[in-house]
Amino acid sequence: MKGTNFYNTTGMSGPDLFTVKSKAKNQEQIILDIFKAHKGWLTRQQLQIKYRFKASKPLYDTSASRSLRNLTMAEMIEKSEERFKGGRGVDVHKWKIKN
């Protein structure tokens, strides 16, 4: 995947920076695999549930948002134009694999 997977806002360097960049890239690949397997629209919350099942670890809100933005900007997934009622009664967007 091209593009920035990790935004170094804390001034990390050396091996620590390499480690977190690798984790972010792997995280986006797992998310992309989820979208490829699902073949439909997913909210961020639905994605987080599927991610926890697939990766056996949580996908935090900020990480999910960053990955969704990166994959949308890379034109690998697409964001819905309209909003839908989410699990907490709030209007949310959905994403799906780009055709």
Binning pLDDT at 50, 70 and 90, where does residue 78 land? Answer: very high
More confident site: 63 or 5:
63
Binning pLDDT at 50, 70 and 90, where does residue 54 land? Answer: very high
The mean pLDDT value for 32-46 works out to 94
Residues with Cβ within 8 Å of 75's Cβ and at least 6 positions away in sequence, in order, are 98
pLDDT value at residue 4: 52
In order of their start, the domains of the chain are 14-97 (1.10.10.10)
Measured between alpha carbons, how far is residue 78 from residues 8, 10, 40, 82, 94 in Å? Answer: 25, 29, 11, 12, 8
pLDDT value at residue 8: 47
DSSP assignments along 4-42, one per residue: -S----S---HHHHHHHHHHHHHHHHHHHHHHHHH-S-B
For residues 89 and 99, give the distance between their C-alpha atoms in angstroms, rounded to a whole number. 29
